[in-house]
């Protein structure tokens, strides 16, 4: 029996509003599936639900991770597993919404179990990452197949693949092939909705929302991050959130605010394109139904 609705799509496509409506109709819980909305210190720039929205229906897994921590897919599955178990046992249905496609893929396909990496190896590669070591080039030497699947800025997954190889001598791509994961949500327990609005309106929404974030205090939010002591590494997950690097550069006097905003908007539009590309490969029909507008998804039931 289906007890979970999964709502994915590019940033600013209307996912959160759709989730809020569906959860209200179903008496359900809105559950976060966005890797930046988990951070307690990033409410504005991650477009986290407002106090008014969280008062309307129950929300879970928002703003519970400190800024100084990395958050992984494995930790996400650990956090959401009790919610899935409760809903499976007859509790409130789940409306799982967000823009992190890898979270959805892990939920319905499973996460590959990986061996423990010795602390000395993990510490060595975290230190190299902070020192600016080219992780993508390093992985390309060790595992060109896995390197070809990852963006050069995807530090957490690059580190994971390098560390596994350093610890075991086995390329991560080979480990993936030999160790399939077990899904947290089984077939029949979920339905998937993907919002894919036209690019013109989507880009306009992205640009407009970025200006709204600035008006809502995004710059002060970034100032609090860069002023933390000890300083947060620039390659930490939260410091790479869209808008944070450029607003941080502005606060450091390197660029003006207009340039920082334009670059943040451009990065977000590029990210939206990557979200759709990922979805076309992994979040596909018939399991996932695609819609051009949230109203179409509502009308389809």
What are the structure tokens assigned to 149, written together? 């699947």
> Which pLDDT does position 99 carry in this prediction?
96
Averaged pLDDT, 280-292: 95
Instruction: Tell me the pLDDT tens digit for each residue of 32-48.
Output: 999 999 999 999 999 99
198 vs 293: CA distance, rounded Å:
9
Contacts of 247 (CB under 8 A, 6+ apart): 218, 219, 222, 260, 264
Asked if 191 and 6 count as a contact pair (C-beta separation under 8 A), the reply is yes
Asked if 55 and 23 count as a contact pair (C-beta separation under 8 A), the reply is no
197 vs 15: CA distance, rounded Å:
11
Asked if 77 and 184 count as a contact pair (C-beta separation under 8 A), the reply is yes
> Which pLDDT does position 208 carry in this prediction?
98
pTM beyond 0.95: the answer is no
Check pLDDT > 90 for residue 146. Answer: yes
pLDDT confidence tier of residue 266, bands split at 50, 70 and 90: very high
Backbone angles phi, psi at 188, to 5 degrees: 95, -15
Q: Mind spelling out the 3-state secondary structure of 34-49?
A: CCCCCECCCCCCCCCC
> Which pLDDT does position 264 carry in this prediction?
98
What are the structure tokens assigned to 140, written together? 């390309």
> Which pLDDT does position 89 carry in this prediction?
97
3-state secondary structure (DSSP) of residue 210: helix
> Which pLDDT does position 200 carry in this prediction?
97
> Which pLDDT does position 175 carry in this prediction?
85
Check pLDDT > 90 for residue 153. Answer: no
Scan for tokens 């451009």, then name that residue: 266
Q: What percent of the chain has pLDDT above 90?
A: 86
Mean pLDDT of the chain: 94
Where are the chain's structural domains? 4-111+181-299, 119-178
Averaged pLDDT, 262-277: 97
Averaged pLDDT, 126-150: 93
57 burial via Cβ count (<10 Å: 0-12, 13-18, 19+): buried
Q: Which residues of 87-108 are buried (b: 16+ CB within 10 A; e: fewer)?
A: bbeeebebbbbbbbbbbbbbbb
Check pLDDT > 80 for residue 180. Answer: no
Check pLDDT > 90 for residue 139. Answer: yes
Q: Mind spelling out the 3-state secondary structure of 135-199?
A: HHHHHHHHCHHHHHHCCCCCHHHHHHHHHHHHHHCCCHHHHHHHCCCCCCCCCCCEEEEEECCCH
Class (C level, CATH) for 119-178: mainly alpha
For 4-111+181-299, which CATH superfamily applies? P-loop containing nucleotide triphosphate hydrolases (3.40.50.300)
Instruction: Tell me the pLDDT tens digit for each residue of 86-95.
Output: 999 999 999 9
Asked if 156 and 149 count as a contact pair (C-beta separation under 8 A), the reply is no
């Amino acid at each position: 029996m289906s007890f979970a609705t999964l709502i994915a799509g590019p940033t600013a496509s209307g996912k959160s509003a759709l989730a809020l409506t569906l959860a209200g109709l179903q008496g359900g819980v809105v559950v976060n599936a966005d890797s930046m909305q988990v951070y307690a210190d990033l409410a504005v720039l991650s477009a986290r639900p407002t106090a008014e929205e969280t008062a309307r229906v129950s929300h879970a897994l928002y703003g519970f991770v400190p800024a100084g921590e990395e958050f992984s897919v494995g930790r996400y599955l650990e956090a959401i597993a009790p919610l899935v178990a409760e809903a499976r046992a007859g509790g409130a249905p789940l409306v799982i919404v967000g823009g992190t496609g890898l979270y959805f893929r892990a939920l319905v396909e499973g996460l590959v179990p990986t061996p423990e990496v010795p602390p000395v190896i993990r510490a060595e590669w975290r230190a190299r990452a902070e020192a600016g070591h080219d992780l993508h080039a390093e992985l390309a030497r060790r595992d060109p197949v896995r390197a070809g699947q990852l963006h050069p800025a995807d530090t957490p997954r690059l580190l994971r693949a390098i560390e596994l190889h350093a610890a075991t001598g086995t390329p991560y791509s080979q480990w993936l092939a030999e160790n399939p994961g077990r899904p947290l949500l089984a077939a029949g327990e979920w339905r998937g909705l993907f919002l894919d609005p036209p690019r013109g309106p989507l880009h306009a929404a992205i640009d407009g929302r970025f200006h709204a974030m600035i008006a809502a205090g995004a710059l002060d939010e970034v100032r609090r991050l860069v002023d933390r002591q000890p300083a947060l590494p620039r390659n930490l997950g939260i410091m790479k959130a869209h808008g944070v690097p450029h607003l941080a550069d502005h606060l450091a006097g390197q660029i003006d605010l207009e340039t920082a905003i334009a670059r943040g908007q451009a990065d977000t539009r590029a990210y939206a394109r990557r979200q759709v590309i990922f979805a076309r490969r992994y979040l596909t029909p018939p399991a996932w139904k695609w819609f051009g507008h949230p109203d179409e998804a509502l009308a389809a039931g």
